[in-house]
């Protein structure tokens, strides 16, 4: 089978919605979202710039349009986080950064599960076709954070404040002092993610 052929994995029913999801989204609506995403994977109809429909125009395939939209939304949100961090004094940066990262990745994990069919089909086909700039929905969120939040702090020389605060918190914890372990874990996770992505690229 050639790299350009479609490798389709038949989806099962929508994955169970995590209990931590916002209760403003009903189970029925969650299933509708899953079905809509699944339809993007299977549809052969594409959308032209003028809103009309055509066949086999890969650049306008619904899956690609959906991926591009997700990438835009992630980038837009991460830029807003970077702007918020810019307004903070140095002594508040570590705590807010870690909390924002924790909330962001929790949401990204839920989205990744919702997009499991998308990840297992369209995204996987892009990898088979050697399009290395395409990521699963969860990894796309993390790559975007590194590009627009972490790298933003590096360029402004403020990443050192987070690193120094992280080391200080670890030392406090090792010495038996009370620390906010939830914040500490999120900060460690963020640094681990940045290091892992740097090695990948």
pLDDT in tens, 65-109: 889 999 999 999 999 999 999 999 988 999 999 999 999 999 999
Q: Taking residues 193-200, what's their average pLDDT?
A: 55
**CA–CA gap between residue 41 and residue 35 (Å, rounded):** 10
Contact by Cβ (8 Å): 118, 66 = yes
Q: Decide if domain 58-198 falls under CATH 3.30.70.
A: no
* pLDDT, tens only, 149-176: 999 999 999 999 988 988 998 998 888 8
pTM score, two decimals?
Answer: 0.75
Q: Taking residues 131-147, what's their average pLDDT?
A: 91
* pLDDT, tens only, 33-74: 888 888 777 766 554 444 444 444 455 678 888 899 999 999
One-character DSSP codes across 90-123: HHHHHHHHHHHHHHHHHHHHHHHHHTHHHIIIII
CA atoms within 13 A on the CB side of 101: 28
Contact by Cβ (8 Å): 120, 9 = yes
**CA–CA gap between residue 43 and residue 51 (Å, rounded):** 16
Give the start-to-end residue ranges of the domains of the chain: 58-198
């Amino acid at each position: 089978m050639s790299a350009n052929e479609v490798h389709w994995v038949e989806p099962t029913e929508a994955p169970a919605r995590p209990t931590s999801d916002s209760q403003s989204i009903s189970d029925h609506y969650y299933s509708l979202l899953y079905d809509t995403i699944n339809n993007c994977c299977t549809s052969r109809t594409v959308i032209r710039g003028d809103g009309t429909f055509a066949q086999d125009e890969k650049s306008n395939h619904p899956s690609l349009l959906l991926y591009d939209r997700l990438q835009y939304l992630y980038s837009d949100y991460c830029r807003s986080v970077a702007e918020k961090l810019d307004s903070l004094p140095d002594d508040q940066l570590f705590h807010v950064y870690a909390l924002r990262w924790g909330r962001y990745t929790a949401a990204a994990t839920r989205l990744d599960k919702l997009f499991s069919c998308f990840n297992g089909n369209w995204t996987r086909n892009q990898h088979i076709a050697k399009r290395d700039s395409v990521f699963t929905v969860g990894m796309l969120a993390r790559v975007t954070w590194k590009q627009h939040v972490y790298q933003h702090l590096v360029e402004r020389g403020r990443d050192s404040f987070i690193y120094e605060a992280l080391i200080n918190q670890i030392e406090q914890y090792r010495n038996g002092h009370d620390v906010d372990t939830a914040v500490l874990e999120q900060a460690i996770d963020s640094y681990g993610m940045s290091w892992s992505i740097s090695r990948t690229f």
